[in-house]
A and B are shown apart, each in its own frame.
Chain A
Amino acid sequence: MDTEKRLNELNERLRYVRDIFGARENENITLLATKLGDFQARERTLSEPERIRALAALEDLFAFLEKKLEAELTPMDKVRIVRHPQRICLKDILENVYDNYTEIGGRDEHSIDPAMLIARAYITRRKGKKVYNQPVMVIGQEKGHGQEFRNGGSVKPWGNAKALHYMKVAEIENIPIHTYVFTPGSYPVEDWPGAAQQIARNLYEMAALKVPVVSVFSEGGSGGAEAIGLADTRLMLSHGYYSVISPEGAAAIESGIRQGQRAPAELIETCARRLCITADDNLKNGYVDRIIQEPALGARVDDYGFFKQLRQEIIRATDEVVLSVKGIKLFRAMALRRRQRRGAPIDAEAIYVRWDLNTAARERLLSRRYAKFMRLSRHAFLDKRPAVKKACSACHDLGWSLYSFFRYDLWRKHHRRIAHAMAEMGAEVDVVKERVSRPWRRIFEKLGGGAAVPEANVERLTQLSAWEADGDAAEGDTAWRYVSPRAAEDRAVTCPNSEESGCLDLWAPDLFGDFAGVCSYCGHHFPMEYQWYLFNVFDERSVFEFNAEVESGNPLDYSGFDAKLEKAKQKLGRKSACMTFEAKVKGVKVVVAMLMAPFRGGSVGAAEGEKFIRAADRARKKHFPFLAYVHGTAGIRIQEGVNGVIQMPRCTMAVRRYIEAGGLYLVVYDTNSYAGPVASFLGCSPYQFAVRSANIGFAGPGVIKETTGLDIPPDYHRAYSALSRGHIQGIWDRRDIRNNLYQSLLTMGGRNLYYR
């Protein structure tokens, strides 16, 4: 009887191995298959002891060859491991790692989103006779061993919103959060709260969550992973992957295939390798802090030893985070470190650390988290400035910090007090003056007859007045300083809405010149070049670029990418897709970070992220408003892998820091803005506006069709849809951007903007 069960298990293991290795032929697998087949063929002929012996030998062989196969695993195999139904999932972890738990909000399919699982759990620690139950909030995606309603761990926007809700609960309760990342990516629908916008909200809140957060990555699919992955310590399972995009997705882009077709298997393998998605890659790049070793070919449901180890690691990680910010910690921290150095199997439970934090510790926690993320991905961009120059610019920064302290914090406070006093005084004087002059005025009125219109008034009604028209009205043929080169063509252009709206063809010089790319019949906005905004939105000659030297690189040595990057740099004469500059809008100084669509689709990599962060810092130091003008962005630059993804939390943290310092962070979307950037540092702004030409969303129509099977209407991502859904706060006509921007500067934003 027992043999049958064991035989079944072996069959199961063989099937698993085959699943993992995909279509690949491997002699070890063949060997296993033949041996198992042989045994099954002659099983009946064997005597009971022989059978037991042969079975034991077979099991040994399996164990041996599985170890051997482990060494041959490719990155794509690991992708298959984490996607396998037998892969451990969050429920297993709750059962086996924690001592007790209650699932919050939902049971199986009866849940707002079965792909997101929240539980209150505790870990019991014994110290002598004392028993401590240490509560934690466990949040993670649940794949449910292939249960269909779990959607493979692809979380809908409202699932992420639920996760955020309970993070805030944990913050109030002052208990640590353990997040488990088991997601191939977020479910890309725009229904409220919106895939991208909700992830952005999560990131923004997690950036300053005042409790320890430890995350464990098994399957870290881009934006979906970031929604719960911004943590003080990030652990990664050895057979997991953490990537900017699925290898299939990357291969589809690489080969340029159309919707519905499949990329060749070898290309997918190649992409998986190029994207540097394994635990080792991510540890090397610094994006995870530690790897938790899994058994050969990955942890499965019944690997109890693994759960024990995971428990140890998660307790230790939480202890470390807490101790690093606690006041009294010295010896315990040392003990932890020493054990770690020895490399000995540590028993984290041997040391007891309380996991709640006091106010001071919470502040320290946040600044550590900020510093940690700011250190990341610094190797992944190029800055070819000589060291002296870099030092100079650092000094310059420091100078600004000091200056702004004196100017805005010290001087301004006192200055204001004096000004108020002066105003009061003036009002007093007016009253006195009025009293004194009243009798005299009465006499004058009687003498002069009063009612006659003074000559000066008639003059004003009938003669030329002085008028300086905004200074913008250019002398040339159009009102715009920059005119698109498309305006030079003598041809007619058809508006895409001509069918429905009856728009007549427009003459290109009118359309791209006078009309600023706006159809004069239906108001359709044709996309314009980023230069149009640069020269027509900001005051003349007020644009001053900084950090232009920060340059996009190829940190993963993604093959073939160097040439593409070089081409983009040549074509545009820019070193990255992000231009950061100071400028003025009707005299108000602003710091602007602009993402430019023509440079690799405006995609964001390490250089773009770094420039964005530095711009936010500059705005904070100078007390200027900060504008993110998104001419266009296709998302995170996939060729940079996690170096790109990590910009999502990084930039969001920088933005949060700026906003909390009292600044005004405005986002203006223009052409197409999708994916990672929208799902983080753009989507988190409380003031997001779109030019009418904008399409805003998480994933494009092709990807939505692919991942959800849904046909989406053609206007799904249009600015008006985004406005209706509540994702953006307003839509601007391109010709009014300047006025609207100025109006926004006057009416929105925090307390530390100097010009108010």
Chain B
Amino acid sequence: MQEHKVLVANRGEIAMRIVQACRKLGLDFVCVYTHEDRHSGHVALARSLGGERAACRVSSYHDANELMAVADHAGATAVHPGYGFFAEDFRFARRATNRDRKLIFIGPSWRVIRELGDKINTKRLARSLGVPTVPGSDKPIYDELEAEDIAASLFAFQAEQGIKRPMVLVKASAGGGGMGIEEVLDPDMFRAVYRRVRNYSRRQFHDEGVLIEQRIEDFNHLEVQVVSDRSGKNPVHFGTRNCTVQSTGRQKRIEVAPGFAPSEIAYTFDAQKVLDDIIGHSLTLARKVGYDSVGTWEWIVTRQGEPYLMEVNTRIQVENGVSAAISRIRGKNGVDIIAEQIRTGLGEPLGYTQEDVTFEGVGIEYRIIAEAPEDRFAPWVGRIDEFRWRDEPWLALHTQIPTDVAYDIPTEYDPNLALAIIWGKDLSEAKARGRGFLDGLTLKGENRQGGMRSNIAFLGDRTERLLVF
């Protein structure tokens, strides 16, 4: 395995963690960066660990051609996409795999990415295995009468469940990224909304297909961390996470592992059973598709304790560290899911089974971001003059912000500054340590409008009610 060289096709914090994982595994690596990112920590780290030529300037992280060219030039044999950018782009994975100078794509095989990247396909796959999904259609509906019929049943179905404000979601089946989605509260309005979405879809995507689903408002967002090797036969899970604390734009801000804490908090449903169920379902689906890398199964759990599979993220996630923090392999601490992804991606077998994985304590991950939560989480751009925290044995902090010099936040990318992962033996200890960490954090900076804005207060605020549902 040591003869491999990994192209780190990403930036910032995740690029740094990939570089560190490569080092840990004794692998050579090469990074890329853009002009705007020339002062980013990942460039400095790459150069300090790999020499001057370990970071290559490219025109854009979005240009696959640049990445391939750099990989060939540097003699890379594998590419790690991180998250975002090309992480879930099956065409990129396919290109890496199929091109003349082959690159191992550190992630699932491109067919798996494609299969699970299609939400309708995932939903149907889930239903075929008895995995619960959001009530509604699992195929594009083209017929108006059929659509009305489904909507009517959905309203009746919710009424029966005692939902106060039954709601139906109408979305263009060919759409994505929030485009062509509308809510219906009043059954009499359905036809008008349906036609509007259908016409929009026809104009925009040249397809009249429409999906009709229950709109669930009151839920917790849970995830199951799955890891598998290239055989795709024996996936293991690294527990659950709860990612319910989000910004108004549905961006995660705090993640907690495990997903619920039934031993410390009372729930109206059997929380432990829900966690067990979603883990079981996730692994069933992973086995079915032959999932061969690290991935996350996203679930929503309603107040009634009903879990529904939303989608599968076929990539490493920002919050992988919080699961690692509570996981032990054969009782040993220091699990690194990124390293596991690289190791198995390059072809090594997993080397352990589910019995070897145990869990201990509670992890909390804070995403420290330059933004103004009170102003709809508007991003803040400027210069960071000071960023300091106290090192603790229970704290892992990942950041691309240099701590010794001032740093201008590049406007081209999200203003994520750091990830702080806190561990405690139980939820209350983790929460207490988290509050302590946030209180002791120094983050100063300014721009022409004035002083630095960040979400630290927001994070502290939300720590109190973590995992309460």
Instruction: Report yes or no: A461 in contact with B206, Cβ–Cβ below 8 A.
Output: no
Does chain A have a CB within 8 A of B416? no
State the Cβ distance, B73 to closest chain A Cβ, in Å: 15
Give every chain A residue within 8 A of B63 (Cβ-Cβ): 504-505
Mask, A502-533, CB within 8 Å of B = 1, is 00110101100010000000000000000000
Q: In whole angstroms, what is the CA distance A495 to B100 when docked?
A: 22
Instruction: Report yes or no: A739 in contact with B206, Cβ–Cβ below 8 A.
Output: yes
Given A461-B136, A461-B150, A504-B63, answer yes or no on A736-B98 (Cβ-Cβ < 8 Å): no
- List which B55-83 residues lie within 8 A (CB) of chain A: 60, 62-65
Instruction: Report yes or no: A510 in contact with B157, Cβ–Cβ below 8 A.
Output: no
Among candidates A457, A463, A469, residue contacting B127 with C-beta atoms closer than 8 Å: A463
Among candidates A464, A477, A507, residue contacting B138 with C-beta atoms closer than 8 Å: A464
Instruction: Report yes or no: A467 in contact with B124, Cβ–Cβ below 8 A.
Output: yes
Mask, B96-131, CB within 8 Å of A = 1, is 001110000000000000000000000010011000
Among candidates A463, A467, A733, residue contacting B206 with C-beta atoms closer than 8 Å: A733
Given A461-B153, A462-B132, A736-B206, answer yes or no on A452-B64 (Cβ-Cβ < 8 Å): no
Q: In whole angstroms, what is the CA distance A507 to B100 when docked?
A: 12
State the Cβ distance, B422 to closest chain A Cβ, in Å: 39
Q: In whole angstroms, what is the CA distance A453 to B152 when docked?
A: 10
Give every chain B residue within 8 A of A735 (Cβ-Cβ): 206
Q: In whole angstroms, what is the CA distance A477 to B153 when docked?
A: 37
Given A457-B156, A460-B153, answer yes or no on A510-B91 (Cβ-Cβ < 8 Å): yes
Does chain A have a CB within 8 A of B433? no
Among candidates A460, A463, A464, A490, residue contacting B150 with C-beta atoms closer than 8 Å: A460
Give every chain A residue within 8 A of B62 (Cβ-Cβ): 504
State the Cβ distance, B307 to closest chain A Cβ, in Å: 13
State the Cβ distance, A488 to closest chain B Cβ, in Å: 10
Instruction: Report yes or no: B95 in contact with A462, Cβ–Cβ below 8 A.
Output: no
Does chain B have a CB within 8 A of A31? no
Q: In whole angstroms, what is the CA distance A451 to B153 when docked?
A: 11
Instruction: Report yes or no: A465 in contact with B137, Cβ–Cβ below 8 A.
Output: yes
Among candidates A461, A469, A477, A505, residue contacting B135 with C-beta atoms closer than 8 Å: A461
Instruction: Report yes or no: A452 in contact with B160, Cβ–Cβ below 8 A.
Output: yes
Give every chain B residue within 8 A of A457 (Cβ-Cβ): 153, 156-157
Does chain A have a CB within 8 A of B139? yes
Give every chain B residue within 8 A of A451 (Cβ-Cβ): 156, 159
Q: In whole angstroms, what is the CA distance A427 to B137 when docked?
A: 32
Among candidates B91, B135, B206, B214, residue contacting A514 with C-beta atoms closer than 8 Å: B91
Does chain A have a CB within 8 A of B133? yes
Given A453-B153, A504-B60, answer yes or no on A464-B91 (Cβ-Cβ < 8 Å): no
Give every chain A residue within 8 A of B207 (Cβ-Cβ): 739
Instruction: Report yes or no: A465 in contact with B139, Cβ–Cβ below 8 A.
Output: yes
Does chain A have a CB within 8 A of B154? yes
Instruction: Report yes or no: B137 in contact with A464, Cβ–Cβ below 8 A.
Output: no
Query: Which residue of B is nearest A492, CB measured?
Result: B65
Does chain B have a CB within 8 A of A344? no
- List which A443-466 residues lie within 8 A (CB) of chain B: 451-453, 457-458, 460-465
Q: In whole angstroms, what is the CA distance A464 to B154 when docked?
A: 16
Instruction: Report yes or no: A464 in contact with B124, Cβ–Cβ below 8 A.
Output: yes
Given A457-B153, A509-B98, answer yes or no on A462-B206 (Cβ-Cβ < 8 Å): no
Mask, B153-176, CB within 8 Å of A = 1, is 110110110000000000000000
Q: In whole angstroms, what is the CA distance A239 to B62 when docked?
A: 68
State the Cβ distance, A483 to closest chain B Cβ, in Å: 13
- List which A713-756 residues lie within 8 A (CB) of chain B: 733, 735-736, 739-740
Give every chain B residue within 8 A of A504 (Cβ-Cβ): 60, 62-65
Query: Which residue of B is nearest A477, CB measured?
Result: B94
Among candidates B128, B133, B156, residue contacting A453 with C-beta atoms closer than 8 Å: B156
Q: In whole angstroms, what is the CA distance A458 to B207 when docked?
A: 27
Among candidates A462, A492, A509, residue contacting B133 with C-beta atoms closer than 8 Å: A462
Query: Which residue of B is nearest A514, CB measured?
Result: B91
Give every chain A residue within 8 A of B124 (Cβ-Cβ): 464, 467
Q: In whole angstroms, what is the CA distance A364 to B153 when docked?
A: 66
State the Cβ distance, B88 to closest chain A Cβ, in Å: 16
State the Cβ distance, B169 to closest chain A Cβ, in Å: 13
Give every chain A residue within 8 A of B65 (Cβ-Cβ): 492, 504-505, 507
Give every chain B residue within 8 A of A464 (Cβ-Cβ): 124, 127-128, 138
Mask, B41-67, CB within 8 Å of A = 1, is 000000000000000000010111100
- List which B161-217 residues lie within 8 A (CB) of chain A: 206-207, 214
Query: Which residue of B is nearest A736, CB measured?
Result: B206
Query: Which residue of A is nearest B128, CB measured?
Result: A464
Instruction: Report yes or no: B157 in contact with A461, Cβ–Cβ below 8 A.
Output: yes
Q: In whole angstroms, what is the CA distance A494 to B319 when docked?
A: 37
Q: In whole angstroms, what is the CA distance A492 to B136 when docked?
A: 42
Mask, A279-316, CB within 8 Å of B = 1, is 00000000000000000000000000000000000000
Q: In whole angstroms, what is the CA distance A514 to B91 when docked?
A: 9
State the Cβ distance, B9 to closest chain A Cβ, in Å: 14
- List which A18-52 residues lie within 8 A (CB) of chain B: none
Mask, A161-183, CB within 8 Å of B = 1, is 00000000000000000000000
Query: Which residue of B is nearest A466, CB measured?
Result: B139
- List which A568-593 residues lie within 8 A (CB) of chain B: none
B60, B137, B159, B206: most-surrounded residue (chain A CB, <10 A): B206
Query: Which residue of A is nearest B212, CB measured?
Result: A461
Q: In whole angstroms, what is the CA distance A69 to B136 when docked?
A: 91
State the Cβ distance, B62 to closest chain A Cβ, in Å: 7
Query: Which residue of B is nearest A454, CB measured?
Result: B153
State the Cβ distance, B344 to closest chain A Cβ, in Å: 25
Instruction: Report yes or no: B60 in contact with A458, Cβ–Cβ below 8 A.
Output: no
Give every chain B residue within 8 A of A460 (Cβ-Cβ): 150, 153
Q: In whole angstroms, what is the CA distance A68 to B95 when docked?
A: 76
B65, B95, B150, B160: most-surrounded residue (chain A CB, <10 A): B65
State the Cβ distance, A466 to closest chain B Cβ, in Å: 9
Given A490-B99, A504-B60, answer yes or no on A453-B157 (Cβ-Cβ < 8 Å): yes
State the Cβ distance, A385 to closest chain B Cβ, in Å: 43
Give every chain A residue within 8 A of B91 (Cβ-Cβ): 507, 510, 514
Q: In whole angstroms, what is the CA distance A609 to B157 when docked?
A: 64
Q: In whole angstroms, what is the CA distance A462 to B138 when docked?
A: 9
Q: In whole angstroms, what is the CA distance A560 to B87 when docked?
A: 58
State the Cβ distance, A110 to closest chain B Cβ, in Å: 47
Q: In whole angstroms, what is the CA distance A740 to B132 when docked?
A: 37
Q: In whole angstroms, what is the CA distance A451 to B155 when docked?
A: 11
A458, A464, A465, A735: most-surrounded residue (chain B CB, <10 A): A464
Among candidates B60, B95, B206, residue contacting A510 with C-beta atoms closer than 8 Å: B95
A452, A458, A462: most-surrounded residue (chain B CB, <10 A): A462
Query: Which residue of A is nearest B101, CB measured?
Result: A490
Give every chain A residue within 8 A of B64 (Cβ-Cβ): 504, 507
Give every chain B residue within 8 A of A490 (Cβ-Cβ): 98-100
Give every chain A residue within 8 A of B127 (Cβ-Cβ): 462-464
Q: In whole angstroms, what is the CA distance A735 to B128 when docked?
A: 30
Q: In whole angstroms, what is the CA distance A504 to B95 when docked?
A: 15
Give every chain B residue within 8 A of A467 (Cβ-Cβ): 124, 138-139
Instruction: Report yes or no: B206 in contact with A509, Cβ–Cβ below 8 A.
Output: no
Query: Which residue of B is nearest A457, CB measured?
Result: B153
State the Cβ distance, B190 to closest chain A Cβ, in Å: 15
Q: In whole angstroms, what is the CA distance A274 to B310 when docked?
A: 73
State the Cβ distance, B459 to closest chain A Cβ, in Å: 37
Q: In whole angstroms, what is the CA distance A468 to B181 when docked?
A: 24
Query: Which residue of A is nearest B133, CB measured?
Result: A462
Q: In whole angstroms, what is the CA distance A490 to B64 when docked?
A: 13
Among candidates B94, B154, B159, residue contacting A461 with C-beta atoms closer than 8 Å: B154
A-B contact pairs, 21 of them (CB 8 A): A453-B160, A458-B135, A458-B153, A460-B150, A461-B135, A461-B154, A461-B214, A462-B127, A465-B139, A467-B124, A469-B139, A477-B94, A490-B99, A504-B62, A504-B65, A507-B64, A507-B95, A510-B91, A733-B206, A736-B206, A739-B206
Query: Beyond A453-B153, A740-B206: 7 further Cβ-contacts under 8 Å?
Result: A451-B159, A453-B160, A461-B135, A461-B214, A467-B138, A733-B206, A735-B206
Q: Which 3 A-B pairs have the closest CB atoms?
A: A464-B127, A461-B135, A467-B139
